[in-house]
Structure 1
């Protein structure tokens, strides 16, 4: 059984680990080995644990977290959608994304945006997001990665 629940501060390591494994599995080929190593370095204490204070959610199968996703209300932005490699291609990422879109709509947002990784842009297009112009994502850690800014109207 698949459920989605709000993450708590105690989930920060689990969420960080899901992110790390998803990036190291799914982003190979879209980014260099060096970029992936820098991107996945560190620990939740390096800023990731602070995300748990936002609308951060865990997708769970039989209570075990297998996916993450976040809604940043200040930026009207969806992010941190990551799925454990062994659960990819099962529709879990889409279910987390739809949950966040419904939440955004319920909270009064008319549109949401995101910065898609190069390997995920097609997934987001299939989910109704629009955007094709490459840009550079500047992470809080200073890492710069190619991305595709995208937007989806919710109304």
Structure 2
């Protein structure tokens, strides 16, 4: 059974591992090996744990986390949508996105935005997000990655 639950600070390492595995599996070809290694360097305690304080969620199967997602209210942004490789292509990412959009709608946001990785932009388009122009994402760690800024209106 699939369920989505609010993440706790103690979930930081698990969420970080899901992110690491998803990036290394899905982003091959979209980014260079050097970019991927830099993107996945470090540890949860290097700042990823702080994200657990936001609207950060885990998608779980039989109680085991297999996916992550976050709603950043300050920026009206959805992010950190990652699914473990063994659970991809099962609609889990869509369930996480839909859950976060519902939260955003319930909290009064009129639209949400995100910076899609090059390999994920088609997925987000299928979810109703709009955006075509490539840009550069500047991570807090100083890494620069090509992305596609996208937006979706939330009808109430």
Describe the SS at the equivalent of 1:34: helix
- Structure-2 residue corresponding to 1:142: 142
The TM-score normalised by the length of structure 2 is 0.99
CA distance, structure 2, for counterparts of residue 132 and residue 46 of structure 1:
32
- Structure-2 residue corresponding to 1:129: 129
- Structure-1 residue corresponding to 2:26: 26
Q: Tell me how many residue pairs correspond in the alignment.
A: 155
Describe the SS at the equivalent of 1:141: coil
CA distance, structure 2, for counterparts of residue 93 and residue 72 of structure 1:
17
- Structure-2 residue corresponding to 1:39: 39
Aligned-residue RMSD, C-alpha: 0.3
Gaps of 5+ in 2: none
Alignment map for 1:1-155 (pairs within 5 Å): 1-155=1-155
Gaps of 5+ in 1: none
CA distance, structure 2, for counterparts of residue 46 and residue 121 of structure 1:
28
After the TM superposition, list the runs of 4 or more consecutive aligned residues in structure 1 that deviate by more than 6 angstroms: none
The TM-score normalised by the length of structure 1 is 1.00
